[in-house]
Amino acid sequence: MSDQTTPGEHPDAPDRSGDVEETGSGDVTTDEAAAERPGPTNRSKDEGESKSAADILTVFLLSLIAVLTAWCGFESSKWGGEMSIAFSQASSARIQSTAAEAQANAARQYDLTIYTQWVLAVEAQDTDLQGFIEERFSPQFAVAFDAWEAGGREALGPFTVPEYVPPGTLESVALADRADAKFDEALEYNQRGDNYTLLTVLFALVLFLTAMSQRVNAAWMQRAMLGLAVIVAVGCVVTMLTYPVKI
């Protein structure tokens, strides 16, 4: 009979030859799918390169500013020390000047006392007493007295002639000038330390702007903050190069 099946055949098995042919013609190979998959665009590559350059600049800027901040702190401390030393020297010179001036005043008072006794002896016309007193003139007053005598006693007294210079007078003037000079130096050193301290504050601003540039999402804002940080940093470095250095 024609309805009989041979052994091993299943009468109900569906014919899938057509399905196989359709599947074979409709499948896409892995290589073709990979070829058709879109790759990264040029814009994304540029953005990646820009991001990498910004990161490198950020790391470099942070490292450089950290070193410069430490340097400014060191210089500010050194100039602060120089200021303290100059103030101490000014104070010491001022004390020595006062001591020298006291010595000059004491010598002037002694000469004035001796001169008063000489005037009384002249008034009394006691030549022996005059000679006795003149032998006890101080060397500085003796020079001034001789100059006063040589000038015909036209000056008001030996104390008014330029030749009269009590001991300690010149030393007092020199020490007073030294005290003034050291005081001015101390003020200048203080200003130099303040300048370096101000640079430290500005470098801290650079660190703030650089760090904030890494926290913003907008690319234009990141570039703007990083650019501003670079401008401030360059200005601070140029200014710092004009300052004196103390090691």
**Residue 43 domain-assigned (yes or no):** no
Q: Report which of residues 126 and 52 the model is more confident about.
A: 126
Structure tokens at 57: 């600049």
Average pLDDT, the chain: 83
Find the length of the chain.
247
Give the per-residue SS3 of 215-233: CCCCHHHHHHHHHHHHHHH
Taking residue 53's Cβ as centre, other Cβ atoms within 10 Å add up to: 10
11 falls within a domain: no
* Tally of domains in the chain: 1
247 is a domain residue: no
Q: What are phi and psi of 81, to 5 degrees?
A: -65, -40
Rounded Cα distance between 111 and 113, Å, is 5
Q: How far apart are CA 98 and CA 211, in angstroms?
A: 57
Of residues 186, 236, 233, 189, the one with CA closest to residue 208: 233
26 found inside a domain: no
What are the tens digits of pLDDT across the range 209-240? Answer: 999 988 888 888 888 999 999 999 999 999 99
Range of the domain at 206: 61-241
- 123 belongs to a structural domain: yes
Tell me the pLDDT band of 130, cut-offs 50, 70 and 90. confident
Yes or no: say if 91 and 232 are a contact pair by the CB < 8 Å rule: no
More confident residue, 53 or 203: 203
At 1, is the pLDDT very low, low, confident or very high (cuts 50, 70, 90)? very low
| Residue 70 forms part of a structural domain | yes
Tell me the average pLDDT across 44-49.
54
DSSP state of 167: T
3 state DSSP class of 228:
helix
Tell me the average pLDDT across 40-56: 63
**Nearest one of 142, 170, 134 to 158, comparing CA atoms:** 142
Task: Give yes or no for residue 134 having a pLDDT over 50.
Answer: yes
pLDDT > 90? residue 86: yes
- The verdict on residue 217 lying in a domain is yes
Please give the C-alpha separations between residue 27 and each of 16, 22, 23, 33, 70, in angstroms, as whole numbers.
16, 9, 6, 10, 68
Which pLDDT value is given to residue 47?
A: 53
- Which pTM was predicted? 0.68
161 to 90, 107, 146, 151, 171: CA distances (angstroms): 32, 16, 10, 10, 19
Q: Of 5, 75, 14, nearest to 240 (Cα)?
A: 75
Domain for residue 20, yes or no? no
pLDDT in tens, 188-203: 999 999 999 999 999 9
